[in-house]
Chain A
Amino acid sequence: QKEVEQDPGPLSVPEGAIVSLNCTYSNSAFQYFMWYRQYSRKGPELLMYTYSSGNKEDGRFTAQVDKSSKYISLFIRDSQPSDSATYLCAMSAPGGFKTIFGAGTRLFVKA
């Protein structure tokens, strides 16, 4: 079993839709949860991070962490064609342990 599972998609939605991206994990020591966006032929860029459980909102993006279910989500409201990219979840334990990335979900937002 992989430490982090993420559906690779692709996920195709119309412009303006609400997008839900999810990851599950197995290591209960994870405390830092991140979402990165990666455009084609570019390096990942950090979108949001959350420490421990709860929700965090930044503009059209909302990150949720449910540690009891070992499940994290990223919601994108009013999706735009410019949101078309691969979204990577990532997580790490305190103390400087390495970050584990999911495989990424490819998202296509159609105009």
Chain B
Amino acid sequence: EAGVAQSPRYKIIEKRQSVAFWCNPISGHATLYWYQQILGQGPKLLIQFQNNGVVDDSQLPKDRFSAERLKGVDSTLKIQPAKLEDSAVYLCASSPVFIYEQYFGPGTRLTVT
């Protein structure tokens, strides 16, 4: 079974630029999550999708972050414009049914200079 795919793996941008991350979850997984993991901290949920719909986006900075899940499968997370404090690893995860069973991708390491 293929795992969660993410691209790119690394990205370096200047502040005020925009960036987009892509995620392909495990086939058949209805729930998709985007997390932000700052160095030395645990993952923090940004947004959770159930199929096409948003379940929780309470911690998504909506003035600069946006996310969509196309046809209930792939998802993109966008930051526009980026700030220095957005430097982090952005993790995508998916789960079949139960929230405790989350499968993570390798993450995208973003550096904002």
Category for how many chain B residues contact A = 20 to 34
Whether A46 and B103, one on each chain, are in contact in the complex, defined by CB atoms closer than 8 angstroms, is: yes
Among A4, A42, A43, A102, residue most surrounded by chain B Cβ atoms (within 10 Å): A43
Number of A interface residues at 8 Å Cβ cutoff, please give it. 24
CA distance A83 to B4 in the complex (A): 23
CA distance A46 to B107 in the complex (A): 15
B24 CB to closest chain A CB, in angstroms?
Answer: 14
Whether A92 and B100, one on each chain, are in contact in the complex, defined by CB atoms closer than 8 angstroms, is: yes
- With CB as the reference atom, state the residue of chain B lying closest to A88: B42
Among B4, B44, B102, residue most surrounded by chain A Cβ atoms (within 10 Å): B102
A90 CB to closest chain B CB, in angstroms?
Answer: 8
Contact string against B for A residues 24-60, beta-carbon threshold 8 Å, 1 for contact and 0 otherwise: 0000000010101000011111100100000000000
Whether A43 and B100, one on each chain, are in contact in the complex, defined by CB atoms closer than 8 angstroms, is: no
Pairs of residues from A and B, 9 with the lowest C-beta to C-beta distance, nearest first: A43-B104, A101-B42, A32-B100, A49-B100, A98-B45, A101-B43, A44-B104, A103-B42, A34-B100
